[in-house]
Structure 1
Amino acid sequence: MIYRARFALELVAAVLVTGLVLVTCTDVIGRYLFNSPLSGAFEVTQVLLGALVFVALPLTTAAGGHVEVDLLVPLLPERVSRTLGRLGGAVAGVVLLYFAFRLVILTEDQFAAGTRTAGLGLPLWGLGVLGIASCLVSAVIAVVRRPT
């Protein structure tokens, strides 16, 4: 099941990157060759990039790809190093839960106010829901992941 979930997230991330490339290329070609840029390209790019960040967060957490500063860890015994790794995972989990909590508040506000993008009128609360799910899944991964 974990393999399928990871594959699904990777597939969605690939589709989002492809969408970003297509929107950008279409906008650039339209702007410079036909003097007619793609209408709403900036907004679509913003939404796609936000979605990509949220989709990639659990993948990055699972791979241990977040930035870590470990100047002293190589000098410590293996047991202490692993304990610090688990403590770091727990702290990351708490921070991600806090992010999810704040996103719940923001998403509720955006949904209630009907907040949309300025040009195309895309609803922003959907991106918040994706962010909440992403932070929750990433928090669980951060806590259960075994440090290397």
Structure 2
Amino acid sequence: MLSVAWKIRRGVETVMALFLLAMVALTFADVIGRRLIGKPIYGSNDITEHMMALVVFAGLPLVTAAGAHLTIDIMDKLVGKPWMAWWRVLSAALVVAVLAVIAWLFMRHGLNASRISEVSQALRVPRAPLYFFMAASCALSALAALAIALTGPMVDPTDTHEEEAL
């Protein structure tokens, strides 16, 4: 089971890296075209907007699986030690529920966008697939949140972190 999770993680990392690389290449080409040739890439704003959403939502399951979301521990001081385990279970359940609701809302929005043929402004790129990708990402994040609540964060032991080296 764990090897499947690691394969999914590596796949998501690869997809995110490819989206980011494509966005950087597009931005570079657009700037070069705009500054040197005087001809920007038509619709680059639309494409960049879509790619930014793809990068952010491809990264969401990775951040969730690593347990790397921003956390505030103000309630930890108010909750006594005996109740801390329950507090963590409640927090984990809330994260899973919120991510599942967001996934459901993106799915509904994607279905609506498909029904009304919602498109981007300049290139008229259909938006429904983007919303479906965002829904899938949030659903995968909800599953990752559930998994780390049961087993702990998915941390790669081969990763090096500069902040830990200081």
TM-score, normalising length from structure 1? 0.91
Contact conserved, 1:116 with 1:124, CA < 8 A, in 2? yes
Is 2:98 the counterpart of 1:95? yes
4+ aligned runs moved over 2 Å, structure 1: 71-77, 79-86
1:18: which partner in 2? Answer: 21
The CA distance in 2 between the partners of 1:26 and 1:47, in whole Å, is 17
2:36: which partner in 1? Answer: 33
Q: What does 1:68-83 correspond to in 2, within 5 Å?
A: 68-73=71-76, 76-77=80-81, 80-83=83-86
Deviation at 1:72, TM superposition (A): 4.8
The CA distance in 2 between the partners of 1:2 and 1:102, in whole Å, is 25
Candidates 1, 5, 21, aligned match of 1:2: 5
Amino acid across the alignment from 1:124: R
User: For this pair of structures, how many residues does the alignment match?
Assistant: 147
Deviation at 1:118, TM superposition (A): 1.5
TM-score, normalising length from structure 2? 0.81
CA shift in 2, pair 1:82/1:19, >3 Å: farther
The CA distance in 2 between the partners of 1:93 and 1:61, in whole Å, is 10
The CA distance in 1 between the partners of 2:133 and 2:88, in whole Å, is 28
Amino acid across the alignment from 2:23: L
Deviation at 1:74, TM superposition (A): 6.6
1:69-104 deviation per Cα after TM superposition (whole angstroms, max 9, x unaligned): 013537853x64343222211101111111112112
Q: Which runs of 5+ in 1 are unaligned?
A: none
CA shift in 2, pair 1:109/1:34, >3 Å: same
2:161: which partner in 1? Answer: none
Candidates 115, 123, 128, aligned match of 1:125: 128
Q: Describe the SS at the equivalent of 2:73.
A: coil
Aligned Cα RMSD in Å? 1.8
